[in-house]
Chains A and B, each alone.
Chain A
Amino acid sequence: MTAPDFAHSPTFSVRRVGAMVLRYWYLLRGSWPRFLELAYWPTMQMILWGYINQFMASSSAWVAQGAGVLVSAVLLWDVLFRGQLGVSVSFLEEMWSRNLGHLFVSPLRPGEWVAALFTMSLIRTIIGVVPAALLAIPFFGYSVFSLGLPLAGFFANLIVFGWSLGLVIVALILRYGMGAEGLAWIVVFMLAPVSAVYYPVSVLPEWLQWVALAMPPAHVFEGMRAVLYNGVVRWDHLAWAAGLNLVYMALCAAAFQYSFRQARVRGALLQTGE
């Protein structure tokens, strides 16, 4: 058998990633309720927690000292949630439309598809969270952008962890079919208690603190409070979050790769759908 000419078969094509992003963009563009839905929940959450923040500031010294701590927390939490949902929902679109069969007889590679899912997650997260962050300025006189440069580190770490969770959910749906679809909306909330979003890690029992500190979000939210309360950037927390993200991403990518291969063994790419 003659060896194939790999010079004409790129292992990773930005164009194919772009084609998939275009596919999801067409879908989003074609439905204004979908567009609205992206910004709806982050905005509602921001308004709700903004008023709680205002109320608590008058009765809690802790909240009063950290201006906008709850608003910042809810906006950053939404980065994690939207990041994960952006991957899972774009994947579910393929399942709902039974399109995986067509996609994977084309030259599209799984890695390119995942890159498109991540890109779309970033776009969806920005569409969802940025309007809410901007609205917080006139509503509560607080700008999350006042966190400065560390905000970029918080954002990056949270969205990357969201992508890892999204990949695991994709892997589970590929393995267990559409019965596991609901995981896309609930998995992230299992991690909320140990993410220390609205309270410091020290509030948790000691054994749970270890669990929390094994998760990137807890480091991000500790870092956020360090900026808000003490005006210092905790590089150690950012470094821990980044390091842990590398580990989780590697594990989740391996889980996805395994599930994808198993789906090819079981014939799920052609058959799975509603």
Chain B
Amino acid sequence: MKSSDNRLSDNQNAIAAAIRVEGLTKRFGTARSGEVTAVDAISFTVAKGSVTGLLGGNGAGKTTTISMLLGLLLPTAGTVEVLGVDMARHRHAVLPRMNFSSPYVELPHRLTVRENLVVYAHLYGLTGVKRRVEELAEHLDLTRFLERPSGGLSAGQKTRVALAKALLNRPDVLLLDEPTASLDPDTADWIRTYLERYRFESGATILLASHNMLEVERLCDHVLMMRQGRIVDQGAPAALLARYGRGTLEEVFLDIARARTDAEKEAANAAE
């Protein structure tokens, strides 16, 4: 149940790809101070209603990519369209239909859980704020923590609060950066089950950056494999397993992460 303010035209809703990325590049630094290419001309699409995993080792460019998809970070080159809207030019038209959660971007510690959720509910222009906050608190087993300062919660509780914030506006596009990082297996499983249910009930598109291969195998329809800022492979989890002749995505991940391109091997040989 979404307010009409949060809707774009029907025309845009008809677009098949929820996210379309073309030649997306991000370089940090300057030629003088030393340039680092964090994301190197990547292109991909994320189908509407799918759960897509963004995988890669540390520094592969996952968080940088997600930041550019959200419009928090301006690309050096390339374009990002979310629900048919060019994020560089019109991101505010589509932000009410998106949301984001990351364990590395916390909510204000001194505000209570309820206060944080109320503030964000107003920022997203929701009606029936009190009801929505209590409904989400109930769904995510947070009711008894509503009056507690967010900073005083355990990692698992904070993750559930962050997820509550990310689901406040019932987003059509949900970007999750390592949603179960540093959680115990029980809590992580609980979060995954909740995400599966949300996706099933809402038809939302989810892009998920994760290091947990079991999580990816369980949740994702499609996987994008990143290494050194590039997408080096992609496909359905089963297709990737077949292509690499491996039994688990973790083995596929290790194959990709440890593989070197010919250019890299030449560079390494030259250095030796």
Contact = CB atoms under 8 A, between A and B. Distances in A.
Do A and B associate with each other? yes
B152 interface: no
Given A102-B105, A105-B71, A107-B92, A19 B100 contact: no
Contacts of A264: 71-74
Given A31-B110, A101-B102, A105-B98, A6 B11 contact: no
Contacts of B92: 9, 11, 107, 109
Interface in A185-199: none
Given A4-B93, A23-B111, A15 B64 contact: no
Nearest to A94: B108
Nearest to B79: A1
A8 B8 contact: yes
Interface in B112-159: 112, 115, 118-120, 122-125, 149
Main secondary structure of the interface of B (DSSP, over half): mixed
Contacts, number: 130
Interface residues of A, number: 41
Contacts of B85: 1, 4
Nearest to B151: A97
Measured as residues with beta carbon below 8 angstroms from the partner, the interface class of chain B is 35 or more
A30 B125 CA distance: 24
Contacts of A15: 122, 125
Contact of A97 (B70, B94, B106): B106
Interface string A250-264: 000000000001001
B220 to A, nearest CB: 22
A99 B99 contact: no
Contacts of B15: 2
Q: When A and B form their complex, which 6 residue pairs have the shortest distance between CB atoms, in order from nearest? A: A4-B93, A19-B122, A101-B105, A97-B108, A106-B123, A23-B119
Interface of B: 4-9, 11-12, 15, 28, 63-64, 67, 70-74, 81, 84-86, 90, 92-96, 98-100, 102, 105-112, 115, 118-120, 122-125, 149, 165
29 contacts: A2-B84, A3-B90, A4-B12, A4-B85, A5-B7, A5-B9, A6-B93, A13-B125, A18-B122, A19-B119, A20-B119, A20-B123, A26-B112, A26-B119, A30-B110, A93-B108, A97-B106, A98-B105, A99-B107, A99-B108, A103-B123, A105-B72, A107-B92, A107-B124, A107-B125, A264-B72, A264-B74, A265-B73, A270-B67
